[in-house]
Structure 1
Amino acid sequence: MTTPDPARPSLPRIGVAAAVGTSLELYDFQIYGTAAALVFGQVFFATGDAWFGTFMSLATFAIGFVAAPLGGAVFGWLGDRRGRKTALFGAFVLMGLATLGMGVLPTYAAVGVAAPVMLVLLRLCHGLARGGENSSAAVLAIEHAPQRRRGLYGSFVAIGSPVGTILANLAFTLVLLLPDGAVLGWGWRIPFLAGGLVLVVGLWIRKGVAESPEFRRMAEQEGAREKAPLLAVVKTNWRRLALVAGVNIGLTASTFALATFMLSYATARAPEGLGLPRQPIVNGSMIALVCHALCNVGAAWLSDRVGRKPVMLAGAVLSLTSALVMFPLSSAGTVAAVNTAVILGFCATGVLFGPMYTFFSELFPREQRQSGVGVGYHVGAVLGGGISPMIANRIIAGTGDAHNVGFYLAALLVLSLVCLLCLPETAPVRASRASRRTAVPEPSR
């Protein structure tokens, strides 16, 4: 009988630490996106043109993504040199403090242009933290995992995205019960101020998780750790780094178009938007995110059995199809039509996203792993999710036709599909099958 490794926490403990901690971090990051779509255009960017004010608000949302690759490099170095857990805690604290700062910012009406400037600086801190947190959590969880359950362990980090977004939407659902004047005056601050509680809870949940066994073994070996892990990745694995970014472009463009842009498009006044009430759209988005989370876990579980690439390729094709269907369906102009489109989109992207952190982590050697995952993932996120809500806003402003947003998302998903085809399979189950097929039979005696 195999003796369990006492340094390896149980599956429930790792699952809770990865999923809950990352969910709370995503809550901090995503409440900005929700606020940018619903209120920041009026609170910090009072330009006189409501749709352009929303565009400026979404542009500051994109800034958080622009800073994330730098965060991936900084916290990737820290994780590959000093430990995954050290990087994880540093990124989480920075995220929580930036969120608290946003909750106490003066508005444009109070201090003028200084307000959006301070908002941008805090959003940059959000981006730096985001660049380190999810890669640190993913690598820590996967390096604790039994080899044939890495996909499932990695999905605990993946579901942090929909669950954190659900928490953000739920927070604003409660805020939107207030009168409009109260929402714009002080109600929008409540979800940000709750970031202080989020910070305390997240640190408490993660404090009992040990450093990963793989990093501990690497730390014990003289010279095993790279002095400049990102430079080593660029020199020896630049092709995989570029392909990782390419895979993530279409995924994040689609998910953040669904999570952020669709809120502003559905609720904005005609002709740019559909003029629908905010609350039922937010409610529909939360249902869609639950479906996304379930698809994340199901796809990751399946990837441990049939391989990462077959599952992710299926998710990419489904996401491409949903991008082309989403806006024709939404053009019916009803709450039911918009919510159905968002649910379909989130189910499809959930299949692609579920195995992604595990797949990316398995592509890089352990001494480069966190730097490779952090920088590759977030370069793709900048070119995809960071700018997709802003570009979608301008596409509608320039063409007057929301269907063109679907074509834009579909083009990025084609790029993701091509990059995915160029990468090797990494799942142990596929590697073992390949070795059995090529094994030379022993001669008969």
Structure 2
Amino acid sequence: MTESQLAAPDDALPGSAVARSTRRMRNRVLTSSFVGSVIEWYDFYLFGVASAAVFNGLFFPDFSATAGTLAAFATLAAGFIARPLGGIIWGHFGDKVGRKRMLVLSIVLMGASTTIVGLLPTYATIGIWAPVLLVVMRLIQGISAGGEWGGAVLMSMEHAPKRRGLSSSVAQMGLYGGILLANGVFALVSLMADHAFLAWGWRIPFLASAVLVAIGLWIRLGVEESPIFAEARARAEQRDAKKPAPPLIEVLRHPKNLLLSIFLVLGPFAASAVYGTWIVSYGIQQGFPRTDVLNAVLISAAIGLLGQPVFAGFSDLWGRKIVVGLGAVLQAAGIVAMFSLMQTGSIPLMYLSISLASLAHAVVYSPLGAWLGELFPTTQRYTGASLGYQIAGTVGGGFTPLICASLLAAAGGSTVGPSLFIGATCLLTLIAVFVAKETYRSAL
């Protein structure tokens, strides 16, 4: 292959790396990204649902109801704290040895830690060691999740770069699929009698992870490495006689795109933590039946899943800026409306409000997988995109339930504080939209 061919856009020539990624393999990669992401996010968000519904009583029984909820959400945040570390680890090796190997390792690690949570004794059995072990498993979950999103999104878009927004959204649909599955399974087991649910029923969704991981692992082992990454690595090896700097060092040398990637995802992460996790605790405190709140989150996740490819496709036509910018405004407004409608005490309005918040999230979130990937060169893409995404996840997703619960308690139940907090994060996202360059027509 000549130097001019190597320098051409990845999808421009029949003999290019992308042309060699057959339609059958592309479909398998997209299937692998979706199914694997569903399983990973099922495991990750299952912990969030359990934190809101049962962990406060089982692992923090000596606390008051409010303090126990805060402690449970602090444990939830531990997983988000570990995600940037996971992004660095998986990103480094993903940019060095390949995307596929890291995706296989991440799903195995996530499945093992989630299954162990289902086997943990509670505080009544082993005392303080119960919450300690719970935090350890959550940290392992966080490290695993730190590499999942970046690997799945990049495998999808690098195998099918002509419609990068749409192809990367398939992996991002896994987020909604995971929320859908986690809340659906938890809603089913919550139909049990309370004593049975608290005694052993809550463990079933965690133990089911072992079966799901086996399925996801089988699918992922059958995909090929990203052709764009393989060719970029070969070019880098031919061009650089000396050993190149680690991907993290290269990313940090030019921090603008890393900072932009953090702020682009910050608002969507904070909002999804509210309507997808914290709203379960808030809804129960407002007097809504637990089953209804879980079902509302279930329906909203289905709406978000269906909306994801639609709005991602729009970003391939109109650009990332217009879709994400509009979505950031709608997301802030949607959270305020959700709180207002839920305070009416109406169950139908509770369903409607959470669904609208999820739809707004689909608008702002759907193009971000492609946009973050497009901000970095191929040999730094896994590290840069993962690190930015996971730092935003730590700040926006990990601490938002704890912050909102604290603001609510401090204000005597007023939702003004949580609304302003989400509005501020969405404003930061909107500013990043204006500063970031438009990339939807640029070659990878």
CA contact (8 A) 1:326 1:342 kept: yes
CA distance in 2, matches of 1:129, 1:374: 12
Q: Which moved more, 1:293-302 or 1:220-229?
A: 220-229
Q: Residue 426 of structure 2 is aligned with which of 413, 419, 427?
A: 413
Q: Residue 83 of structure 1 is aligned with which of 83, 86, 98?
A: 98
- Give 1:33's aligned residue: 48
- Give 1:442's aligned residue: none
- Give 2:192's aligned residue: 178
CA distance in 2, matches of 1:107, 1:134: 31
User: 1:81-160 residue pairs with structure 2 within 5 A?
Assistant: 81-145=96-160, 147-160=161-174
User: 1:202-217 residue pairs with structure 2 within 5 A?
Assistant: 202-217=216-231
CA distance in 2, matches of 1:63, 1:340: 31
Q: Which amino acid in 1 is paired with 2:119?
A: V
Displacement of 1:404? 2.4
CA contact (8 A) 1:8 1:213 kept: no
- Give 2:283's aligned residue: 266
User: 1:319-330 residue pairs with structure 2 within 5 A?
Assistant: 319-330=331-342
Asked if 1:427 corresponds to 2:440, the answer is yes
Matched residues, percent identical? Answer: 37
CA distance in 2, matches of 1:199, 1:417: 37
User: 1:159-170 residue pairs with structure 2 within 5 A?
Assistant: 159-170=173-184
Asked if 1:14 corresponds to 2:32, the answer is no
Asked if 1:257 corresponds to 2:289, the answer is no
CA contact (8 A) 1:9 1:209 kept: no
CA contact (8 A) 1:81 1:226 kept: no
Q: Which amino acid in 1 is paired with 2:64?
A: D
**What runs of 5+ residues in structure 2 fail to find an aligned partner?**
1-12
Displacement of 1:226? 4.1
CA contact (8 A) 1:323 1:407 kept: no
CA contact (8 A) 2:233 2:379 kept: no
CA contact (8 A) 1:316 1:416 kept: yes
CA distance in 2, matches of 1:334, 1:42: 27
Displacement of 1:164? 0.5
- Give 2:403's aligned residue: 391
Displacement of 1:6? 4.2
CA distance in 1, matches of 2:377, 2:233: 14
Displacement of 1:214? 1.1
Q: Residue 234 of structure 1 is aligned with which of 234, 237, 252?
A: 252
Aligned length: 423
Displacement of 1:9? 4.7
Q: Does the C-alpha gap of structure 1 residues 354 and 81 become closer, same or farther in structure 2, counting only changes over 3 Å?
A: same
C-alpha offsets along residues 92-117 of structure 1, whole Å, 9 cap, x if unaligned?
11101100111110100000000000
CA distance in 2, matches of 1:226, 1:207: 29
- Give 1:190's aligned residue: 204
CA distance in 1, matches of 2:77, 2:244: 32
Q: Does the C-alpha gap of structure 1 residues 9 and 111 become closer, same or farther in structure 2, counting only changes over 3 Å?
A: farther
TM-score between both structures, scaled by the size of structure 2: 0.92
Q: Residue 366 of structure 1 is aligned with which of 373, 378, 400?
A: 378
Asked if 1:294 corresponds to 2:294, the answer is no
Q: Which amino acid in 2 is paired with 1:304?
A: D
CA contact (8 A) 2:100 2:225 kept: yes
- Give 2:318's aligned residue: 306
TM-score between both structures, scaled by the size of structure 1: 0.92
Q: Which amino acid in 1 is paired with 2:246?
A: A
SS at 2:101 equivalent? helix
**What runs of 5+ residues in structure 1 fail to find an aligned partner?**
268-272, 433-445
Q: Which amino acid in 2 is paired with 1:195?
A: S
Displacement of 1:2? 5.8
C-alpha offsets along residues 76-134 of structure 1, whole Å, 9 cap, x if unaligned?
00100010111111111110110011111010000000000000001000000000111
